[in-house]
């Protein structure tokens, strides 16, 4: 029988058809949710340097070997090794209205502890770093209470977070020079609840390292209210957080080799470390396992990539960013050309689009594919952004992309004991993986301009 050439040509599947098969695979045959369950429930939280981090490295390595990726390996990274102490006390000792009030508080990551002698001091409340200068003569000998709320009126919650988080990350460094004794931070969340949120701080060289702890938004409101009635309120802080010497850890890398342009790379992933409360389900077990799932989908559908696809689980995003830096350094020293890097680190929520950081030309190219994603509910391609772990790749001409899920609930769970497996919805997580896989497919098929 004669086969006409145009019939053979017609067999090349359209982008729409391939994307449909990617979504079908992710929504009907995916082990993604079960993989997240294992990471969260069998391993649990995994701060850099912890036994959980070591177990998660081995689990994701084995998972990618089991899926028969072409290459699976570890990249050595030295990471900070901060440990929370066994006892964390933060209490008002002399409230005229309520006597002693115990707060449920968490030491901030990278913070020093108070030791057994503790710190007892009066409090000065500030709404943000911008108020320090005005009150600088009242800070000496006091505990500075940063109580600036996340702005609830901003629809983009990540913008509200960005505006408030400097209190946590830099409050100690900025008030140390004025003689502050310690720092208390209102949790960076728009939720009003009893849950304190962890997170890291950075000290400044030459400035005394102050112990710092976070309290819940409800406790922050209570403390603020009591201070209005009683200015000589005393707070006692005691904790045993320690900063141990840097320790050995790893980024976990799996790849499918490109069959046409193997020296061009598309990297996908998230960070494997998580805070030492909760299970790091949204932040960022979801992103890590979505990265692995993208490559699994390619294999399962027998889509042979032209370029090399890499799933990377970066280590130490939360309190140092060492994994992301080490990965970019490695890629530079090997002269690898990363055309695009996609990070999923905004939770396993229903995908709404992609953020991007790159040249106008690169962004235009990305925007051309928007209509392909609209049937799947992704419509927001306009926002700037990439991800903390991929940002060190930016000076290599790489287009940086972030999965943009619905962000309304992320900061309810972020860095808390409530960021557990049960907080992630199976279908939403799978839709995110399918969306990333579809974009990887398009990037691989058509490439993208270098700057
Ligand atoms: Zn994260």
Per-residue model confidence as pLDDT tens digits over 8-60:
555 578 999 999 999 999 999 999 999 999 999 999 999 999 999 999 999 99
Surrounding ion ligand 1 within 5 Å at CB are 283-284, 345
What's the chain's average pLDDT? Answer: 96
53-85 pLDDT per residue, tens: 999 999 999 999 999 999 999 999 999 999 999
State the CB neighbour count (10 A cutoff) for residue 248: 11
Residue 106 is predicted with a pLDDT of: 98
Residue 136 is predicted with a pLDDT of: 97
Rounded Cα distance between 291 and 440, Å, is 11
**Ligand 1 mean position, distance from CA 321 (Å):** 11
**Ligand 1 mean position, distance from CA 154 (Å):** 21
E runs forming strands in 201-306: 212-215, 234-239, 242-256, 261-271
Rounded Cα distance between 80 and 243, Å, is 8
**Ligand 1 mean position, distance from CA 389 (Å):** 9
Edge-first strand order for the sheet with 234-239 is 99-102, 88-95, 234-239, 119-126, 143-146, 182-186, 212-215, 106-107
CATH of domain 86-240: 3.50.30.30
Domain ranges of the chain: 14-82+245-446, 86-240
Percent of the chain having pLDDT more than 70?
A: 97
Rounded Cα distance between 440 and 322, Å, is 25
Residue 449 is predicted with a pLDDT of: 82
Helix (H, G, I), strand (E, B) or coil at 316: coil
Query: Which among 266, 341, 253 is positioned nearest to 309, based on CA atoms?
Result: 266
**Ligand 1 mean position, distance from CA 291 (Å):** 14
One fold for 14-82+245-446 and 86-240: no
H or E element, residue 297? helix 286-300
CATH class given for the domain over 14-82+245-446 = alpha beta
**Ligand 1 mean position, distance from CA 282 (Å):** 8
Residue 39 is predicted with a pLDDT of: 98
State the CB neighbour count (10 A cutoff) for residue 75: 17
**Ligand 1 mean position, distance from CA 253 (Å):** 18
Split at pLDDT 50, 70, 90, the class of 2 is low
């Amino acid at each position: 029988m004669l086969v006409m050439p145009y019939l053979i040509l017609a067999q090349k599947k359209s982008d729409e058809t391939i994307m449909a098969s990617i979504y079908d695979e992710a929504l009907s045959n995916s082990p993604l949710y079960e993989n997240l369950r294992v990471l969260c429930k069998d391993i649990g939280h995994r701060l850099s340097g912890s036994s959980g981090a070591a177990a998660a490295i081995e689990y994701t390595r084995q998972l990618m070997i089991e899926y028969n990726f072409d290459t699976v390996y570890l990249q050595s990274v030295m990471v900070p090794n901060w440990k929370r102490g066994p006892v964390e006390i933060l209490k008002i000792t002399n409230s005229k209205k309520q006597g002693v009030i115990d707060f449920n508080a968490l030491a901030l990551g990278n913070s020093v502890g108070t030791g057994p002698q503790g710190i007892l001091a009066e409090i000065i409340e500030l709404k943000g770093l911008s108020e320090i200068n005005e009150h600088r003569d009242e800070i000496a000998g006091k505990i500075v209470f940063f109580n600036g709320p996340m702005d609830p009126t901003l629809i983009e919650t990540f913008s509200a977070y960005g505006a408030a988080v400097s209190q946590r990350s830099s409050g100690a460094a900025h008030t140390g020079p004025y003689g502050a004794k310690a720092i208390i931070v209102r949790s960076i969340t728009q939720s009003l609840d009893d849950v304190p949120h962890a997170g890291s701080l950075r000290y400044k060289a030459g400035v005394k390292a102050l112990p710092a702890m976070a309290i819940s938004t409800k406790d922050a409101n209570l403390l603020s209210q009591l201070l209005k009635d009683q200015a000589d309120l005393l707070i006692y802080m005691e904790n045993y957080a320690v900063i141990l010497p840097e320790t050995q850890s790893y980024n976990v890398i799996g790849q499918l080799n490109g069959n046409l342009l193997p020296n061009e790379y598309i990297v996908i992933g998230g960070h494997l470390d998580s805070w030492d409360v909760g299970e790091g389900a949204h932040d960022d077990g979801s992103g890590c396992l979505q990265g692995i799932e993208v490559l699994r989908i390619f294999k399962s559908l027998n889509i042979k990539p032209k370029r090399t696809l890499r799933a990377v689980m970066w280590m130490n995003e939360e309190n140092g960013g060492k994994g992301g830096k080490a990965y970019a350094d490695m890629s530079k020293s090997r002269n690898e050309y990363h055309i695009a890097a996609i990070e999923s680190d905004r939770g396993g929520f229903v995908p709404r689009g992609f953020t991007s950081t790159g040249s106008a030309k690169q962004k235009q190219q990305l925007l051309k594919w928007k209509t392909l994603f609209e049937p799947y509910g992704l419509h927001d391609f306009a926002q700037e952004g990439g991800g903390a772990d991929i940002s060190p790749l930016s000076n290599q001409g790489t287009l940086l992309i972030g999965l943009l899920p619905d962000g309304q609930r992320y900061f309810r769970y972020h860095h808390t004991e409530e960021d557990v497996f049960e907080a992630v919805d199976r279908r939403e997580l799978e839709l995110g993986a399918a969306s990333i896989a579809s974009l990887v497919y398009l990037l691989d098929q058509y490439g993208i301009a270098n700057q």
